[in-house]
Amino acid sequence: MSRIGKLPISIPDGVNIEISDDNVVTVKGKLGELQQKVDPAISLKVEDGNLTLERATEEKDHKSKHGLYRALVSNMIQGVTEGFTIVQELVGVGYKVGAKGQVLEMSLGYSHNVVMELPPEVKVETKTERGKNPTITMTCIDKQLIGQVAAKIRSLRKPEPYKGKGILFKGEVIRKKAGKAAAEK
């Protein structure tokens, strides 16, 4: 039995879960509504304020999907009740960021500014303080979507190990390498 898949998911107050005949789970909460299609081999049951997932057989494919769908549904419930927040900071001289609605404009040391349009589900705020690195704060109810957007932003200027410049997640520590000058001594 999957260690993650067998754990029941407690349903908080104010969350409504509907399971359709074609295994589509709809979770409604105070922040919004999310849907997820679940593999037919996985069955879902709501009883006593808990949601449990069970698999049809002990095949390797069914075992892997058991834990996967349990995690996805759990993230949906957490998303509609609390939401998800990702904070990224731009480390580098002259790096700037600004948001106009759903359009993010970044100056990342290239010859041109990078303009990126964000999905309407993702709310973005930018903050620039004197003496501190500019930050991008994103909030969303869909964990997959916000993670994908954050990864795309990070890919525009990945942190490099020599000076530590780039787009980092808040609290991330980059292990710095010594570089060529240290090897000559």
Residue 76 lies in a domain: yes
Domain-embedded: residue 43 = yes
Two tokens, residue 170: 């808040």
Q: Which residue has the tokens 């997959």?
A: 144
Asked if residue 108 is part of any domain, the answer here is yes
Domain harbouring 130, CATH code: 3.90.930.12
Burial class of residue 70 in the structure, from the number of CB atoms within 10 Å of its CB (0-12 exposed, 13-18 middle, 19+ buried): buried
Q: Which domain holds residue 133?
A: 84-169
The last residue of a domain, from among 45, 64, 81:
81
Compute the distance between CA of residue 161 and CA of residue 92 in angstroms, rounded to an integer.
13
Per the structure, how many domains does the chain have?
A: 2
Co-location of 88 and 164 in the same domain: yes
pLDDT digits (tens, 9 = 90+) for 112-162: 999 999 999 999 999 999 999 999 999 999 999 999 999 999 999 999 999
Same structural domain, 165 and 88:
yes
Q: Report pLDDT digits (tens) over 157-184.
A: 999 999 989 999 998 888 988 888 766 6
| CA dihedral for 156, 161, 164, 168, sign (positive or negative) | positive
Q: How confident is the model at residue 15 (pLDDT cuts 50, 70, 90)?
A: very high
Q: In what order do the strands lie in the sheet containing 33-37?
A: 16-19, 24-28, 33-37
At 1, the pLDDT band (50, 70, 90 cuts) reads very low
Sign of CA dihedral 130, 133, 134, 139: negative
Q: Which residue, of 81, 105, 127, is where some domain finishes?
A: 81
- Cα–Cα distance measured from residue 36 to residue 61, given in angstroms and rounded to the nearest whole number: 19
Vertex 10: Cα angle to 17 and 41 (nearest 5) = 60
d(CA 185, CA 69): 54
Specify whether 66 is located in the same domain as 90.
no
What is the chain's mean pLDDT, rounded?
A: 92
> Would the pTM count as exceeding 0.75?
yes
